[in-house]
Amino acid sequence: MEKSRDFQLFMTQNDEQQFCEELRGYNPNIFFLDISPSLEADISKRLYTSVVNSSSSFFSIVNFDLMTMEELKTRYKKYGEYYHFGSIAREQMQFLRSKPDVNDSHFLRNGRIADSYNIEDKDEKEWKNKVYDILKRHGEKVFLLYQTSHGCCEISIKPQKGIVAYPYALRKYNGQNGFYMKCGDAIFVGKEIALNN
């Protein structure tokens, strides 16, 4: 039986570097595959030890303990001249980077990690659970900032489920300096702001 899950995240490049280093500290056979459609078919030119070494926003976390480079090379579809590599499989998890909003740099847009797994496959479940464990260990909960019917801004009492922010993102996009974290149309702040307000 397959199960799917995803987790929203807010990270700056410093946070991404920390996350990538910790993930590869857990398993040095984990790499990040740039899955942006491109003319590049050579996997070695799409693989990174950290997402910060690429301008791409779209990645797959690849566990080479469970697959070979040769197998990964075959996991694409070609549309016209462009190669499209898959992002989720037994050996892969989707990683979409958090980025400043292209229309307003005062907002940091969410990224996400997503996967599906066979509940009976212990190896798959174990490594994917570890990715989420690392994400949650350093990520802090965020709180919804919303406007009441009277036009006042308030912060939710309970943290938002399924969303975390890493330390640098929390410091920069803290709401007090005019910078915020944003997921869809919803605006979020960290725990410190929520407690102080």
Could you tell me how far CA 66 lies from the centroid of its own chain?
A: 21
pLDDT tens, position by position, 74-128: 888 989 999 999 999 999 999 999 999 999 999 999 999 999 999 999 999 999 9
Q: Tens digits of per-residue pLDDT, 16-62?
A: 999 999 999 999 999 999 999 999 889 999 999 999 999 999 999 99
> Is-contact 46 34, C-beta < 8 A?
yes
Please report whether residue 156 resides in a domain: no
How many domains are there within the chain? Answer: 1
Q: Would 171 be classed as within a structural domain?
A: no
Tell me if 47 is assigned to some domain: yes
Residue 122 lies inside a defined structural domain of this protein: yes
Looking at the domain assignment, is residue 165 inside a domain? no
pLDDT in tens, 120-157: 999 999 999 999 999 999 999 999 998 887 878 888 88
- Answer whether residue 128 is part of any domain: yes
Report the run of H or E that residue 126 belongs to, with start and end. Answer: helix 122-138
In a domain, 126, yes or no: yes
The pTM of the full predicted model, rounded to 2 decimals, is 0.91
Distance CA 22, CA 74 (A): 28
Indicate whether 51 belongs to any domain.
Answer: yes
Q: Which domain holds residue 92?
A: 1-138
